[in-house]
């Protein structure tokens, strides 16, 4: 008989419920009206593979940041858990845009055009960063990626 048990170091519904309660205390109505009274499984699924310590790191980063007057979205919070610096990712996006357009053409772009291009490529840069961090942790023996039972 092949029974799969949840690894004690991976996130469970209990961890998400604790996060939910903290977020509701911090953001009040903003959290509940935006995300509901309880997770419908979206956040548990979206944070799959993270450790409880990662969740705590993400929460601390959020609380310490001045950027989150409103609750973070799931992708924003996941990035916080991985320690992805969005400002650094924006700078990387600008460098990519500069390389794609050439310095002369980049300098001709308006702020709105640059911001639109950044918004377009930023999610992929952040995702790449998260994968790099997860791979580094795998090599270091800190498995953050949950392997599906086959």
Report the chain's C-alpha Rg in angstroms: 18
Please tell me whether residues 111 and 48 are part of one structural domain. no
Q: Does the pLDDT value for residue 99 go beyond 50?
A: yes
Q: What is the mean pLDDT of residues 32-38?
A: 95
Q: What whole-number distance in Å separates Cα of residue 96 and Cα of residue 119?
A: 13
Q: Does the pLDDT value for residue 37 go beyond 60?
A: yes
Determine contact, residues 52/9, Cβ cutoff 8 Å: yes
Decide which of 66, 83, 100 is a domain's last residue: 83
What is the pLDDT, as a whole number, of residue 113?
82
Answer yes or no: is 3 within a domain: no
Q: What is the mean pLDDT of residues 108-124?
A: 79
Please tell me whether residues 75 and 18 are part of one structural domain. yes
Bigger pLDDT: 107 or 72?
72
Indicate the pTM of the whole model.
Answer: 0.60
Bigger pLDDT: 120 or 4?
120
Q: What whole-number distance in Å separates Cα of residue 132 and Cα of residue 50?
A: 14
Q: Looking at the 3D structure of the chain, how many domains does it have?
A: 2
Range of the domain at 121: 85-141
Q: What whole-number distance in Å separates Cα of residue 38 and Cα of residue 20?
A: 7
Q: What is the mean pLDDT of residues 82-87?
A: 70
Please tell me whether residues 61 and 90 are part of one structural domain. no
Which tokens belong to 115?
Answer: 């911001």
Answer yes or no: is 148 within a domain: no
Q: Count of H helices and E strands in the chain?
A: 8, 0
Please tell me whether residues 15 and 61 are part of one structural domain. yes
Please tell me whether residues 70 and 129 are part of one structural domain. no
Using CA atoms, how far residue 107 sits from 87, 92, 93, 96, 104, in Å, is: 20, 16, 15, 14, 5
């Amino acid at each position: 008989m092949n029974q799969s048990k949840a690894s004690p170091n991976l996130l469970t519904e209990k961890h998400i419920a604790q996060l939910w309660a903290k977020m509701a205390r911090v953001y009040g109505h903003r959290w509940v009206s935006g995300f509901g009274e309880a997770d419908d499984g979206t956040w548990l699924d979206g944070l799959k593979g993270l450790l409880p310590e990662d969740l705590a790191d993400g929460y601390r980063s959020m609380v310490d940041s001045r950027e989150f007057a409103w609750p973070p979205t799931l992708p924003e919070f996941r990035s916080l858990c991985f320690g992805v610096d969005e400002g650094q990712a924006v700078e990387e996006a600008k460098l990519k845009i500069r390389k794609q357009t050439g310095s002369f053409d980049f300098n001709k772009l308006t702020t709105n055009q640059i911001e639109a291009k950044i918004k377009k490529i930023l999610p992929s840069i952040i995702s790449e960063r998260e994968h790099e961090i997860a791979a580094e942790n795998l090599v270091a023996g800190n498995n953050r990626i949950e392997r599906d039972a086959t």
